[in-house]
Amino acid sequence: MAAKTTLNAKNLESLGAQRLAELLVEISMGSAAHKRRLRMELAGNHGSAEVAREVRKRLASIARARTVINWRKVKALKSDLETQRKTIAETVAADDPQEAFELIWQFLALANSIFERSSDSSSSLIESFHQACEDAAAIAASAKIGSDVLADKVFKAVQDDGYGQYDNLIAAMVPALGKDGLDCLKTLFVQWSKDPKDKPAKDERKVIGWGSAGPLYGDEIYGTQRDLTVRIALQEIADAQGDVDAYIAQQPEKTRKMPMIAADIANRLVSAGRAKEALEVLNEVDTTGWAGMPFEWQLARVETLEALGRREEAQTYRWTCFEQSLHDQHLRAFLKRLPDFDDLEAEEKAFAHAQAFPDVHQALAFFLLWPAPAEAAKLVMRRKAELDGNLYELMPAAAEALAEKHPLAATIVLRSMIDFTLDSGRSSRYKHAARHLADCASLAPHINDFGNTRSHDIYVAELMRRHGKKHGFWSQVT
């Protein structure tokens, strides 16, 4: 049984309404957020109209604000935005969807003013606006907003998508827009694309890819920012309408030969039962400037071959892609399509190939991801001289994965990081190197035979001889 002083609803009820009210007022003193929450609850007692009035006032206040939103203020603002958004979507919308529809657009309109004065790099604030786009779609359907009115709202919003706040708006609105709304929205974007526009300045040109003739500039292919906005919008509408040809038509001829674009087009053609055309698109890709084809393009090719009934060719291509990249998804798909027991032999062949792969770190990452810790340990033991202790995104994970059953291999990985840190004099990493050395000490008793690898004591003595003057490191060694 919980103690009577435990903070829970039942125990607090025993204080009585008057005492609880006094405590709430006391606790809210000095906290604007708490006061707003209490006012919202009080407004709820008088119906959704009063709640809507409080939300509208708060949104207007946020819109008027001009202070810089630094990292210290992001959390509080995020909480405030979520309170307003949820109140609109859950409280107001339940009683008055028409009012909620107006409020959610007022909420969305805050985005530009907020991001103009924000230094938030975590993207936490924009998540609220992306969710508000979903809320707006649900509220629009509930309020039975006319398709032409809704299309105009969406059009104007996407026109002013300065910070990506409306990136998911069209996709979210598809059910509420319906066929008529999508047609109307498409017409609005097409008309906008025909309006006179300014050419981009020279210093605004951006390279978006490479072709046989050199760099591909965004302004040469996509035109102005408006052109790009229109293209993306019309592509989303085409996807919603299941119109593959309309989607393809929005891609300039040059970009259709870029691997990622070609893969996107091919995937849509395959889904539409047009695999032969998909393969033609993939085959027309310009490989200039690509050391290897992106995984997405490779996957699109495999799916296209499967759709054409060329399964043996698809299998051969999967294996070729795995040999070149050690991408685990290619191997998993290859093994899945083999008869029983053949997959075991193929897996052994794949492991042997990975053991001899030129890039030892790519091979190590593959074995960790598979997972095959015994193979990872074997790789480390055989090719320890090739390990780069500077790869902090890989090595700590490798040491952790190997520690329990392969302590010597884990020790070798840890030593690679220690040696890199001390040999290169990276003082900012001394505390990490000291921690790695402590890990080596804890693993040493579990190693029965160091073989041709130095024992822990000999290794530490060698470190002292070579780096004894690095006091910043040794002061952190326990």
Give the per-residue pLDDT at 31: 64
Give residue-wise pLDDT tens across range 59-85.
999 999 999 998 888 998 999 999 999
Give the per-residue pLDDT at 230: 96
Any idea where the domains of the chain sit in the sequence?
251-308, 310-356, 363-478
- Over the range 465-477, which residues count as b (16 or more CB within 10 Å of their CB) and which as e? eebeebeebeeee
Long-range contacts of 129-132 (CB under 8 A, 24+ apart): 129/165, 129/166, 130/165, 130/167, 130/168, 131/85, 132/85, 132/89, 132/104, 132/107, 132/108
Mean pLDDT for the stretch of residues 290-298:
87
Give residue-wise pLDDT tens across range 7-32.
677 766 776 777 666 666 666 666 66
Give residue-wise pLDDT tens across range 134-149.
999 999 999 999 999 9
Nearest-CA neighbor of 245 among 229, 230, 254, 256?
A: 256
Give residue-wise pLDDT tens across range 414-425.
999 999 999 999
Structure token digits, residue 160: 């002013």
Q: Who contacts 115 (Cβ-Cβ below 8 Å, separation ≥6)?
A: 125, 126, 162, 163, 165
Per-chain mean pLDDT for the chain: 89
Ordered alpha helix ranges (H), 9-120: 9-13, 17-28, 32-44, 48-64, 71-86, 93-95, 97-108, 111-116
Reported as a pLDDT band with limits 50, 70 and 90, residue 223 is low
Residue 308: pLDDT over 60: yes
- CA 364-366-372 angle, to 5 degrees, is 85
Reported as a pLDDT band with limits 50, 70 and 90, residue 285 is very high
Give the per-residue pLDDT at 48: 72
Mean pLDDT is lowest, of 219-233, 241-255, 293-307, for 219-233
Residue 394: pLDDT over 50: yes
Nearest-CA neighbor of 177 among 152, 203, 157?
A: 152
Residue 210, SS3? Answer: strand
Query: For 226-269, where are the E strands, in sequence order?
Result: none
Burial class (CB in 10 A: 0-12, 13-18, 19+), 88: buried
Give the per-residue pLDDT at 35: 60
- Over the range 290-311, which residues count as b (16 or more CB within 10 Å of their CB) and which as e? eeebeeebbbbbbbbbbbeeee
Q: Which H or E element spans position 158?
A: helix 147-159
Give the per-residue pLDDT at 1: 46
* pLDDT > 70 in the chain, percent: 85
Give the per-residue pLDDT at 340: 86
Question: CA 301, CA 330: separation in Å to the nearest integer?
Answer: 12
Give the per-residue pLDDT at 26: 65
Give residue-wise pLDDT tens across range 267-283.
999 999 999 999 999 99
Residue 250: pLDDT over 90: yes
First to last CA, the chain: 45
Highest mean pLDDT among 122-131, 335-344, 372-381: 372-381
Give the per-residue pLDDT at 45: 47
Residue 205: pLDDT over 50: no
Mean pLDDT is lowest, of 81-95, 217-231, 291-305, for 217-231
Give the per-residue pLDDT at 96: 94
